[in-house]
């Protein structure tokens, strides 16, 4: 585990003192509904610390106490599961708009900009330890699990804002005996796995800017939903909306879309798609109706600004690939569950004010632009989790389309390369998009203009 900066130790050095060192702690800022910024501190202490906002000290509020949640049903057998232990406090404080400095225990927190123009997009950042798929990523090897490198490189780019498109937690089961790649890794849905999978390797980037924390399917209630609600969701933690009891999962598995204004009459619209399924949803399914409700709320939010960028973990307009036992490669269109639900209300899938969608879930980078009036789709699920390495063609065939009725005009991809995506604002409707590798080298450049986008390189190798 990486150790984070302990300010009191640095300030006092080795000088003899009776003052105990300040505890190691985790701090970050999340953006939520209408751009409200919330400071979070995760700390092993008897009480929440104070936060100093513009020289005024005030107590932070306890969001969640230290506790161990009794074992609940998960995708794993009980023998491969354990109760989720959170032996630390989650503390929070709202940062009023216009706050110019925020400090906790001597550590400065990043503050939101009213009009961010430099945005980092990352997704799918955890180290996959999963018994059911016999997947044992080498979490101990930086080249095999490079999220810390991605986070450091992305921080060096000096973003105003970071968007994580979801799937933070992947260490679900114990590393098998005798596997040095993952030996010693914590596992399960408690703090130790969350820390090694996300907070410790992501620390440099958490220090660099406020974050938008999109929820992925790895954070649904059956998996790491408890940690999602406790640590990442920007809204209040409510009893029953915490994934602690399976009986409440129809509440905890869904949350409403929200809008984050980013200047120039533009909003980011954040969708929680954690509980959809690629197998599809149909009328009568809980998710079908819930995502219809989300679509209506998304459309209402989109009306509040002339232009919007949508964020959903699952791409509705992306394309993945899988290889069959006989060696055939099949293309995998966008998420069938959301396509069915959203498509029942709007065959174009998204409100006209949405310019582009930012997603993850597929472990690669890709861009799609359409001649059929759909928003551009970007996928940035290449920031740490073991990559999807089945090759995609340089040009997509007309069939299958990413979504019913979607006609691809431009397609660009990078399969089997780790890195991060950046977006730099160049005008009201224009963004320059770059694809960076682990060395910080730019591997592709794209321009998003209105709903259309195009990249310099069709197939990054």
Q: Can you give the binding site for Fe ion, defined by CB under 5 A? A: 167, 216-217, 361
Integer angstrom CA distances of residue 17 from 11, 44, 107, 381: 12, 22, 21, 47
126 vs 190 by CB, closer to Fe ion = 126
What CA–CA distance (Å, rounded) separates 125 from 141? Answer: 14
Nearer to Fe ion (CB atom), residue 267 or residue 385 = 385
- Report the length, in residues, of the chain: 461
Q: How far is the CB of 280 from Fe ion (least distance, A)?
A: 16
Q: Taken in order 53, 59, 63, 69, is the CA torsion positive or negative?
A: positive
For residues 54 and 443, give the distance between their C-alpha atoms in angstroms, rounded to a whole number: 41
Which one, 167 or 249, has the nearer CB to Fe ion? 167
159 and 120 in contact (C-beta within 8 Å)?
Answer: yes
Residue 217 or 444 with smaller CB distance to Fe ion: 217
Q: Which of 427, 450, 267, 431 shows the shortest CA–CA distance to 371?
A: 450
Cβ closest to Fe ion, residue 167 vs residue 207: 167
Find the shortest distance in angstroms from Cβ 444 to Fe ion.
Answer: 22
Rank residues 261 and 280 by Cβ distance to Fe ion and give the closer one.
Answer: 280
Q: Minimum distance from CB of 189 to Fe ion (Å)?
A: 16
Closest chain position to Fe ion (CB): 361
Q: What are residue 163's DSSP bridge partners?
A: 121, 212
Minimum distance between the CB of residue 171 and Fe ion, rounded to whole angstroms? 15
Provide, rounded to whole angstroms, the least separation between the CB of residue 313 and Fe ion: 6
Residue appearing with tokens 């029953």: 240
Are 27 and 40 in contact by the 8 Å Cβ rule? The answer is: yes
Beta bridge partners of 88: none
Q: Report the 3 state secondary structure along 84-140.
A: EEECCEEEEEEECCCCCCEEECCEECCCCCCCCCEEEEECCCCCCEECCCCEECCCC
- Nearer of residues 88 and 281 to Fe ion, judged by Cβ: 281
Min CB(360)–Fe ion separation in Å: 6
DSSP secondary structure code for residue 171 in this structure: B
Tokens of 53: 């906002």
């Amino acid at each position: 585990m990486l150790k984070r900066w302990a300010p009191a130790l640095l300030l006092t050095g080795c000088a003899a003192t009776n003052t105990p060192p300040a505890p190691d702690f985790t701090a970050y800022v999340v953006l939520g509904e209408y751009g409200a910024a919330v400071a979070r501190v995760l700390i092993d202490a008897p009480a929440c610390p104070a936060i100093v906002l513009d020289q005024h000290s005030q107590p932070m509020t306890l969001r969640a106490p230290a506790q161990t949640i009794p074992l609940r049903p998960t995708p794993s057998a009980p023998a491969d599961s354990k109760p989720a232990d959170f032996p630390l406090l989650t503390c929070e404080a709202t940062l009023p708009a216009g706050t110019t400095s925020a400090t906790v225990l001597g550590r400065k927190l990043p503050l939101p900009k009213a009009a961010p123009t430099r945005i980092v997009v990352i997704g799918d950042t955890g180290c996959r330890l999963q018994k059911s798929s016999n997947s044992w990523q080498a979490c101990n090897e930086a080249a095999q699990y490079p999220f810390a490198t991605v986070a450091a490189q992305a921080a060096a780019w000096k973003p105003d804002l970071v968007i994580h498109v979801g799937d933070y937690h992947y260490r679900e089961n114990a590393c098998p005996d005798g596997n040095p790649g993952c030996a010693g890794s914590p596992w399960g849905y408690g703090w130790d796995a969350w820390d090694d999978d996300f907070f410790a390797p992501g620390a440099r980037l958490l220090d660099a800017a406020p974050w938008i924390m999109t929820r992925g399917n790895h954070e649904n209630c059956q998996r790491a939903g408890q940690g999602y609600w406790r640590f990442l969701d920007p809204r209040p933690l409510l009893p029953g909306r915490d994934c602690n009891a399976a009986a409440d999962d129809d509440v905890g598995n869904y949350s409403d879309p929200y809008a984050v204004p980013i200047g120039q009459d533009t909003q980011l619209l954040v969708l929680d798609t954690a509980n959809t399924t690629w197998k599809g949803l149909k009328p009568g399914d809980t998710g079908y109706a819930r995502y219809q409700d989300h679509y209506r709320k998304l459309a209402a939010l989109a009306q509040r600004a002339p232009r919007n960028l949508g964020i959903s973990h699952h791409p509705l307009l992306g394309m993945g690939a899988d290889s069959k036992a006989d060696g055939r490669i099949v293309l995998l269109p966008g998420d069938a569950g959301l396509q069915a639900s959203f498509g029942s209300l709007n065959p174009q899938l998204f409100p006209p004010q949405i310019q582009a969608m930012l997603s993850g879930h597929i472990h690669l980078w890709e861009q799609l632009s359409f001649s059929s009036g759909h928003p551009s789709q970007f996928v940035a699920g290449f920031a740490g989790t073991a990559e999807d390495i089945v090759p995609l063609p340089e040009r997509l065939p007309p069939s299958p389309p990413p979504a019913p009725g979607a006609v691809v005009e431009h397609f660009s991809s990078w399969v089997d390369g780790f890195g991060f995506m950046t977006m730099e604002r160049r005008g009201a409707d224009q963004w320059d998009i770059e694809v960076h590798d682990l060395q910080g080298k730019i591997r592709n450049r794209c321009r998003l203009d209105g709903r259309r986008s195009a990249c310099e390189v069709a197939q990054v190798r």
